[in-house]
Amino acid sequence: MAAFHSVLIVDDSSTSRMIVQRCIEMAGVSVGSFTCAENGLDALSAIKKDKGIDLVVTDLNMPKMDGRAFARILKSDPALSSIKLVVVSSIADGDAEAELKMLGAASVVKKPVSPAKMNAALGGL
């Protein structure tokens, strides 16, 4: 099973962040700590503060900086590009999933999130 030092959950909804965290925990993924951010800008700040973040789980639709812009910046920065990225979204159709994988997402999870979906997304990382 996958294990992560620190996981950053990015979503403008505090309820969604809590659900994602709980699903990761229920999936049996070993996580040292969780950090949260409300948008891509806050996520970049959090990553700069906590050099131990090795997984980011992000929503797409957020204010200030959406998940696509965040993914582009994260994966284009050599210092950050090794961080695993999982996208959670309600608009994860085939075309969107292909685009997100091209942007560097390791996996795309369609909402509603569940422990089984998180296990499938994180199991091979």
**Which pLDDT tens digit goes with each residue over 74-100?**
999 999 999 999 999 887 677 888 999
Preceding peptide of 78 cis, ω within 30°:
no
- CATH code, 36: 3.40.50.2300
pTM: 0.94
Residue 90 lies in domain:
3-122
Instruction: Please state the rounded mean pLDDT for residues 8-28.
Output: 96
- Dihedral of CA atoms 28, 29, 33, 35 in degrees, nearest 10, equals -110
- If one counts the domains in the chain, the total is 1
